[in-house]
Structure 1
């Protein structure tokens, strides 16, 4: 079984540059590239991020989004790194049930969260 998350975008090359840099700590690389698709693949069992070129820009809030745990407790430093790559911070730090997160958007406005899980949560293999 494979999970592929598809992200509509106007400029697949620019978005690939952003997402490869953003996901660098998770070791993603370019995969299949056949317009209108460009895939970014990480080490198994990470899901593939499929960039799909569409003619229209993002209009409303995403119904599904990525939540990324970069393995750091320092959300502000991670958000600063992503902003230097072209991300925009959307929210202040939020927390619930021990999780802490900040909502950001990629250069085309697609929202995603950078989060820190509670220290009592053990990652599943």
Structure 2
């Protein structure tokens, strides 16, 4: 069955005790606004940015692992997308809450997340 996917955006993982300060730094560094200081839930702390280039989803996330930047690929069928990426050489690392953490053949970690607002932003790729 066909599914669709596209680049969702970038997540700036911050190992910090002060996510507000991290979000302030990155919003000023990137020239974007902080759209939602309380975008997380009971188990995660996020802050979303607004007026991003190309309407990409960009956020800062408080993490326990070393700070890094990772990208998210959004799909209308995350299992089908993870399988497609595995055929290209990626590996599933873990299923977390409602998304797949994956690793590219070159070692970078990225996530496959549920597509939000498929009618907005760029047209998703359609895969057989």
Does TM, scored on the shorter chain, surpass 0.5? no
More strand by share: 2
Q: TM-score, normalised by structure 2?
A: 0.39
Higher relative CO (CA 8 A, sep ≥ 6), structure 1 or 2?
A: 2
